[in-house]
């Protein structure tokens, strides 16, 4: 586990909301929230967007919100509508709640919470609209226990999307990042139509089309600690088709 960067004041007091979509993450969520709230970021809040998890993740999240009433919020969604819809809902609520910066991360402990202060510092010290925790820039790492087929799928997906969309990001499918609130408002969540993991690609594509600077910093990506991957055949099909849909859907979008 890395040691969190100690940011100077007033940076460490920034209003940062971490949006965490969940579906069957009852075992991982308490560990993640504990690590997030232990960070030297007193302005950090956690917003859990749960898609009515059968394993009781929503109830676990409610207990965490009772224990930390000023720092943990829970959004209960009707059912599993996809990662993209959960993020749009959660990010929209974070912006409405006054967040200056909004982070995205998975609930499965694959993204190191301790990297967030450094990522926030990189955002605040540059003109970037978003900072990505990247597996594929120099210094980035993949857990040696990450299955070979997942490595191959991730590498192929990035190459495929790069070829079709010409977006200059090494980790186009990354799900760990911090946005400036004004960049998110400029992108406009109403423009985003992706349901699954292709949400990440669509957000990066929109940010690029609108001229926002995107910065990648290296992280170590860990294998999930508990539970199963949510990657389905339908998700893979949507991800394969998405670059063609994005080129058509946003062809007239420019700064």
Structure confidence by residue, pLDDT tens digits, 218-243: 999 987 666 555 555 555 556 566 66
Domain assignment of residue 5, yes or no: no
Domain assignment of residue 20, yes or no: yes
pLDDT at 32: 98
Confidence label for 29 from pLDDT (cuts 50, 70 and 90): very high
Domain assignment of residue 6, yes or no: no
Domain assignment of residue 168, yes or no: yes
Dump pLDDT digits (tens) for 82-140: 889 999 999 999 999 999 999 999 999 999 999 999 999 999 999 999 999 999 999 99
Domain assignment of residue 2, yes or no: no
Please report the sign of the dihedral spanned by the C-alpha atoms of residue 165, residue 169, residue 170, residue 176. Answer: negative
pTM for this entry = 0.89
- What are the two backbone dihedrals, phi and then psi, of residue 220, each rounded to the nearest 5 degrees? -100, 120
Domain assignment of residue 110, yes or no: yes
pLDDT at 140: 92
Query: Where would I find the beta strands (DSSP E) of 99-235?
Result: 101-104, 130-134, 141-142, 177-180, 214-218, 220-221
Helical (H) or strand (E) element with 22: strand 16-22
The C-alpha atoms of residue 56 and residue 24 are separated, in whole angstroms, by 7
The C-alpha atoms of residue 49 and residue 67 are separated, in whole angstroms, by 17
**pLDDT tops 90 at residue 161:** no
**pLDDT tops 80 at residue 207:** yes
Domain assignment of residue 1, yes or no: no
Domain of residue 240 covers: 11-249
pLDDT at 255: 58
Angle at 76 between CA 113 and CA 66, to 5 degrees: 65
The C-alpha atoms of residue 104 and residue 106 are separated, in whole angstroms, by 7
pLDDT at 157: 72
In total, how many domains does the chain have? 1
CATH code of the domain covering residue 112:
3.90.550.10
Domain assignment of residue 254, yes or no: no
The C-alpha atoms of residue 43 and residue 38 are separated, in whole angstroms, by 12
pLDDT at 196: 73
Rg (CA), the chain: 17
């Amino acid at each position: 586990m890395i040691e969190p960067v100690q940011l100077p004041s007033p940076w460490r007091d920034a209003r940062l909301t971490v949006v965490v979509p969940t579906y069957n993450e009852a075992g991982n969520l308490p560990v993640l929230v504990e690590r997030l709230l232990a960070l030297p970021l007193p302005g950090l809040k956690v917003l859990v967007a749960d898609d009515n998890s059968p394993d009781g993740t929503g109830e676990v999240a409610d207990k965490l919100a009772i224990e930390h009433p000023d720092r943990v919020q829970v959004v209960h969604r009707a059912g599993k509508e996809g990662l993209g819809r959960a993020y749009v809902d959660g990010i929209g609520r974070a912006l409405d709640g006054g967040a200056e910066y909004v982070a995205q991360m998975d609930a499965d402990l694959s993204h190191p919470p301790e990297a967030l202060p450094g990522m926030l510092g990189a955002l605040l010290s540059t003109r970037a609209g978003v900072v990505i925790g990247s597996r594929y820039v120099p210094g980035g790492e993949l857990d040696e226990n990450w299955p070979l087929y997942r490595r191959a799928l991730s590498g192929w997906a990035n190459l495929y999307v790069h070829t079709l969309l010409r977006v200059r990001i090494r980790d186009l499918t990354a799900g760990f990042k911090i946005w400036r609130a004004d960049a998110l408002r400029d992108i406009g969540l109403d423009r985003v139509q992706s349901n699954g993991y292709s949400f990440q690609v669509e957000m990066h594509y929109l940010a690029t089309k609108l001229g926002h600077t995107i910065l990648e910093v290296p992280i170590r990506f860990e294998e999930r600690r508990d539970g199963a991957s949510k990657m389905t055949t339908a998700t893979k099909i949507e991800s394969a088709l998405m670059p063609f849909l994005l080129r058509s859907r946003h062809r007239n979008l420019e700064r």
